[in-house]
């Protein structure tokens, strides 16, 4: 790259523009989307990708675990079609499990960008479809053992070829998913979003020329890299390890799954080693390599550059050591339906490893799971319904203040819970309460945040998936702080049968009048509880965050 082309002023113009384009793509996608996983959960990302699959820019406010990982989908397409195999007006669709490493609901759409008749980049987005066919409705089943039961796979296929829709492929998708109106609506929104991004990037290239724009992008990456290195340099060199575990794989409920990471800091670089992670399982709680990379990158970004926009440069000084065949780097034909379940705990474990080195930068553990539920059945108008909701929980106490209450996991960012009024308008349920879970925050000088209690009463017969994790290993405290209250759910039966505590279950049948109460975890405490100030204890008691003086200390 020619340094002269990257004038500092032009660099700033390009830096702002490329992120604004990705944000514009996200706006177009989110506003027109048909399913709550996109418009509420923001389970999507949008970005510009260069010809080598590197992330030029990514939208702000999407799902944190989608960190600069759209490139692998595009690399696959480039391998299959060749760079000269793309034409203006092409739109590709991709969710191949082995390549993308995520559940098949995550559909990538991408478009080539042309400038002066040459292919110069791609615009891409990934969005979570409500259903992708397969043996079980929606997602979140723990019953599958291989990817083929989890839905239809589409590998770098042209859904539009030079502007013409591939009707065969469209029909195949239409006939193989459970809610085609929603999925095809989302598909339309995804395509429009990519085309918008391609137009915008084309305008930028027309203005400054390709060489200048690319030189500026390289400079933006270099600056991000330098900013990150400056932070890593301040972490004391050393080898730091930590270990935790997940409850089980959802099939064998007795056997826990090992999460073990080793972090090595040396000068301005960091490596995160997953060699000792649990091997992949015979259940859908696996992810491909993208899972391990996402966990490492989220932890790394939170520590080094939480405020910087996401691009390739943010991760240049991070090495991820990820042998094949672990829980977060599964080989085919592993099932991937619950690909993200292990990630919050993996991220917390990386942070825990570094806690002794960075006592002022790392909070105690947070609720530690993705926290959601899904109910499905047929309503009084004989229509199939699928109710999904995401719950927050407590975050860990921090070096100078209590943890936040009722917030979504470290893997979820601007993800919103569903309003009770909206759920009752749409679905045959009565929500009986939605409240903070008192006494769930771990004790400490700075208390863990509180979890949430939410109770559904179903008005029709239906089924529920429950996927609570970390019930055996509650969110841990740090530096003397106590554990937070663990996740659990209770089902109360209308027929008078004994209530049942459930941690994981797929397609649990419910009758009208049955109630399911969800209790989400509180955060771990930070520091010696004896050092908690009397004022803080008094507030906890007055406000009812803690119900007895014993619990407060």
Partner 1 sequence: MNMVGVDIGGTFTDLVGVIDGKIVSSKTSTTPSDPSEGVAHSLQLAHCDLPGLGELLHGSTIAINTVLERKGAKTALVTTKGFRDVYAIGRGNRIEAFNLFFHRPKPLVARHLTFEADERLDPNGRALKALENAEVELLVKDVLASGVDSVAVCFLHSYANPAHERLIGDALRRAAPHLFVTLSHEILREFREYERTSTTVLNAYVGPRVRDYLSNLETWLRGEKFVGKMHLMRSNGGVMSALQARAQPVSMMESGPVAGMIAAGILCKQLGIDMAIGFDMGGTTAKSSLIMHGAPAVEEGYVIGPMASGQPMQLPVVDIVEVGTGGGSIAWVDATGGLHVGPQSAGADPGPACYGKGSNTPVITDADLVLGRINPKRFLNGGMSLDIEASRAAIKAKVGDPLKLSIEEAAIGIAAISDTAMSLSVRAVSVNKGVDPRETTMIAFGGAGPLHAVAIAREIFIPRVIIPKLPGAFSALGMLMASWRQDFVRTLVGRLGRLDHATVENIFRELAADAEAQLRLDGIPRASAKLIFNADLRYVGQEHALQIPVSDASMLTGDVSKVRELFHVEHDQRYGQAAAEEAMEIVNVRLVLTAPRADTVAERSMAQAWTPTDEAAETSRKVIFNDPLKPLDARILWRPALPAGFAFTGPAVVEEPNSTILIHPGDKVRVTEAGHLVIDVAFGGAQS
**Least distance to partner 1, CB of residue 298, Å:** 7
The binding track of 359-388 with respect to partner 1, each residue x by CB under 8 A or -, is --xxx-------------------------
**What x-and-dash track marks residues 176-215 binding partner 1 by CB under 8 A?**
---x-xx--x--xx-xx--xx-------------------
**Which helix (H) or strand (E) element contains residue 318?**
strand 318-321
CA 498 to chain centre: 36
User: What is the smallest separation between the CB atom of 414 and partner 1, expressed in angstroms?
Assistant: 5
Q: In whole angstroms, how close is the CB of 264 to partner 1 at the nearest point?
A: 21
Find the shortest distance in angstroms from Cβ 65 to partner 1. Answer: 10
Residues numbered 46 to 65 that lie near partner 1 (CB under 8 A) are 61, 64
User: Taking the complex as a whole, how short is the minimal distance between the CB of residue 477 and partner 1, in angstroms?
Assistant: 16
Give bridge partners of residue 463 from the DSSP assignment.
376, 509
544 binds partner 1 (CB under 8 A): yes
In 468-539, the DSSP E strands lie at 488-492, 500-502, 504-510, 515-519
| Per-residue mark of binding to partner 1, 395-424 (x: CB under 8 A) | ---x-----xxxxx-x-xxxxxx-xxxx-x
15 binds partner 1 (CB under 8 A): yes
Which residue's CB is nearer to partner 1, number 318 or number 508? 318
- Residue 24 binds partner 1, judged by CB under 8 A: yes
CA dist 71 and 251 (Å) reads: 33
79 with 144: CB under 8 angstroms? no
Residue 536 found at the interface with partner 1 (CB under 8 A): no
As given in the structure block, the two tokens for residue 253 are 């409920």
Is 302 a binding residue for partner 1 by CB under 8 A? The answer is yes
Q: How far is the CB of 232 from partner 1 (least distance, A)?
A: 13
Kindly state the smallest distance separating residue 39's Cβ from partner 1, in Å.
4
Binder of partner 1 out of 111, 132, 436, 443 (CB under 8 A):
436
Burial per residue of 40-67, b for 16 or more beta-carbon CB atoms within 10 angstroms, e otherwise: bbbbbbbbbbbeebbbbbbbeebbbbbb
Euclidean distance between the first and final Cα of the chain, in Å?
60
Binding to partner 1 (CB under 8 A) within 81-140 occurs at: none
506: left (phi over 0), alpha (psi -120 to 50) or beta: beta
The distance of Cα 191 from the centroid of its chain, to the nearest Å, equals 22
Among 249, 255, 324, which Cα is nearest to 284's? Answer: 249
Asked whether position 269 contacts partner 1 by CB under 8 A, the answer is: no
Quick one: which H or E segment has residue 120? strand 118-128
User: Among residues 327 and 408, whose Cβ is nearest to partner 1?
Assistant: 408
SS3 71: helix
Instruction: Kindly indicate which of the ranges 28-36, 241-249, 478-486, 511-519 contains the residues binding partner 1, using the contact rule CB under 8 A.
Output: 28-36
Buried-exposed string 245-278: b where 16+ CB fall within 10 A, e elsewhere: bbbbbbbeeeebbebbbbbbbeebebbbbbeebb
Please, which residue, 285 or 489, has the CB nearer to partner 1? 489
């Amino acid at each position: 790259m020619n340094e002269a082309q990257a004038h500092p002023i032009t660099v700033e113009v390009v830096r702002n523009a490329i992120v604004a384009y990705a944000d514009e793509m996200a706006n177009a996608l989110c506003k027109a989307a048909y399913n709550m996983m996109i418009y509420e959960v923001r389970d999507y990302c949008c970005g510009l990708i260069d010809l080598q699959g590197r992330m030029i820019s990514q939208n702000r406010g999407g799902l944190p675990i989608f960190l600069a990982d759209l490139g692998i989908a595009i690399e696959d397409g480039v391998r299959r079609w060749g760079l000269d195999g793309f034409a203006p007006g092409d739109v590709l669709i991709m969710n191949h499990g082995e390549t993308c490493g995520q559940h098949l609901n995550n559909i990538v759409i991408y478009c080539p960008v042309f400038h002066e008749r040459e292919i110069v980049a791609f615009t891409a987005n990934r969005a979570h479809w409500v259903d992708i066919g397969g043996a079980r409705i929606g997602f979140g089943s723990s019953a599958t053992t291989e990817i083929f039961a989890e839905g239809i796979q589409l590998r770098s296929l042209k859904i539009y070829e030079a502007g013409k829709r591939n009707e065969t492929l469209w029909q195949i998708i239409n006939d193989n998913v459970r809610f085609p109106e929603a999925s095809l609506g989302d598909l339309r929104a995804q395509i429009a979003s990519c085309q918008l991004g391609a137009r915008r990037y084309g305008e930028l290239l027309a203005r400054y020329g390709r060489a200048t724009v690319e030189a500026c992008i390289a400079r933006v990456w270099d600056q991000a890299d330098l900013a990150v290195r400056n932070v890593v340099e301040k972490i004391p060199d050393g080898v730091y390890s930590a270990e935790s575990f997940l409850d089980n794989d959802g099939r064998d409920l007795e056997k826990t799954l090992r999460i073990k990471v080793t972090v090595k800091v040396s000068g301005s670089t960091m490596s995160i080693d997953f060699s000792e992670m649990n091997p992949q399982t015979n259940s859908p709680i696996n992810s491909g390599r993208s899972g391990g990379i996402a966990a490492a990158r989220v932890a790394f970004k939170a520590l080094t550059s939480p405020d910087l926009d996401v691009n390739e440069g943010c991760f240049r000084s991070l090495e991820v050591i990820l042998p094949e065949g672990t829980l977060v780097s599964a080989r085919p034909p592993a099932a991937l339906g619950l690909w993200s379940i292990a990630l919050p705990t993996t991220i917390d474990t990386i942070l825990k490893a570094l806690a002794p080195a960075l006592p002022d930068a790392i909070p105690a553990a947070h609720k530690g799971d993705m926290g959601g539920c899904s109910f499905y059945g047929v309503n009084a108008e004989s229509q199939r319904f699928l109710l999904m909701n995401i719950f927050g929980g407590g975050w860990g106490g921090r070096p100078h203040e209590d943890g936040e209450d009722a917030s979504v996991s470290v893997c979820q960012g601007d993800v919103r819970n569903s309003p009770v009024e909206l759920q009752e308008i749409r679905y045959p349920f009565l929500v009986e309460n939605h409240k903070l879970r008192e006494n769930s925050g771990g004790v400490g000088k700075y208390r863990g945040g509180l979890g949430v209690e939410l109770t559904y009463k179903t008005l029709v017969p239906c089924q529920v998936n429950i996927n609570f994790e970390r019930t055996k290993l509650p969110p841990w405290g740090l530096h003397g702080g106590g554990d937070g209250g663990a996740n659990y759910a209770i089902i109360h039966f209308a027929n008078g049968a004994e209530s049942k505590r459930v941690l994981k279950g797929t397609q649990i049948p419910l009758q009208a009048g049955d109630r399911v109460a969800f209790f989400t975890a509180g955060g771990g405490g930070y520091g010696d509880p004896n050092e908690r100030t009397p004022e803080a204890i008094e507030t906890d008691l007055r406000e009812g965050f803690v119900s007895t003086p014993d619990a407060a200390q």
